[in-house]
Structure 1
Amino acid sequence: MESEALESSIIESTMLGDERGHLTVIEAENTIPFDIKRVFYIYGTLSNIRRGYHAHYKTRQALISVSGSCKVYLDNTKRKTDILLDSPTKVLILEPNDWHEMYDFSSDCVLLVLASHLYDSADYIRDYDKFIEVYGG
């Protein structure tokens, strides 16, 4: 059931605005390279709490810190990196083959997540050893 190995990446969405304020547009199949089936957001997380600790078999996600900031640790078995999400125009396209952990949340952080699939507990790889078994090859 191994997913095609894609590389997670940062994209910049366009900010429009004038003296009245700013507007950023996110569009499925245009800004986001997949159909959006589910939307959720994470907020009220203390800075010393880490969330995530999983990868997926099929779900792709777009993570946007629409307020405040947080960091995302990524591990695809070939590279380990930390990404700072600190702007509502910065979009992390998170591929299924990346073990991810979100951390260092600012007190005002609202992390918006757009997902390519509806929630399915069977799509989650929550055990790191299983993740290595599936994607480490």
Structure 2
Amino acid sequence: MKNTTVYDCTMIEMDKHHSDRKGNITVVENGKTIPFEVKRTYYLYDVPGGGSRGAHAHKELRQLIIAAGGSFDVTLDDGNVKRTVVLNRPYQGLLVVPGIWRDLNNFSAGAVCLVLASERYDENDYIRNYQEYLKYKQSEI
């Protein structure tokens, strides 16, 4: 997955079902709503306003990142191109493919970042140093 680019990361709009009296509901289903089976789910919250998270890449893991509440930015970087996506709607998610460096920042107060992941936690799948990431991306060429 070393040859992926920021353009391989896409926004996925999930169905939003509305009831005049009871609010909205969005459903996420394995293999139907998203193009992978969810094996791990986690969420980030109480990130100080303006704070940041992420600053890593994955070798194999795919993620759907959702602003379940509030808003934040996701900056995607493939070693050549950077692209920033604002997440602020709970019925939209950003599909992040393997081999992409990501930074999450500009969290609004009270923001909740929900992440659906294609694999269980594996420290060996992480690249946490940006210079090592650049070497990883160039090693395929």
Q: Same fold (TM over 0.5)?
A: yes
**Corresponding position: 1:128 with 2:130:** yes
Once the two structures are TM-superposed, the CA of residue 3 in structure 1 deviates from its matched residue by 4.6
| Alignment-derived partner of residue 69 in structure 2 | 67
Q: Which runs of 5+ in 2 are unaligned?
A: none
What is the CA distance between 1:4 and its match in structure 2?
5.7
In the alignment, structure 1 residue 82 sits paired with structure 2 residue 84: yes
Letter in 1 for 2:109: S
Higher mean Cα deviation, 52-61 or 127-136?
127-136
How far 1:87 moved relative to its partner?
Answer: 0.2
Stretches of 4+ aligned residues off by more than 4 angstroms: none
Q: Which residue of 1 aligns with 2:29?
A: 27
TM-score, structure 2 as length reference: 0.91
Map 1:1-137; keep pairs closer than 5 Å: 2-3=1-2, 5=4, 7-19=8-20, 20-136=22-138, 137=141
CA-CA distance at 1:47 after TM superposition: 2.2
Query: SS of the counterpart of 1:92?
Result: strand
- The SS at the match of 1:5 is coil
Q: Where do 5+ consecutive residues of structure 1 fail to align?
A: none
TM-score by length of 1: 0.93
User: How far did residue 79 of structure 1 move?
Assistant: 1.7
Count of aligned pairs between the two proteins: 136
**What is the SS of the residue equivalent to 2:133?**
helix
Aligned partners of 2:16 and 2:80: how far apart in 1?
A: 33
Secondary structure of the 2:116 match is: strand
Please tell me the root mean square deviation across aligned C-alpha atoms, in Å. 1.3
Matched-pair identity in %: 35
- Measure, in 1, the Cα distance between the counterparts of 2:133 and 2:40: 23
CA contact (8 A) 1:68 1:109 kept: yes
**Distance in 2 between the 1:49 and 1:22 partners?**
28
Paired with 1:50 and 1:12, the residues of 2 have a C-alpha distance of 24
Q: Check whether the contact 1:69–1:84 (CA below 8 A) recurs between aligned residues.
A: yes
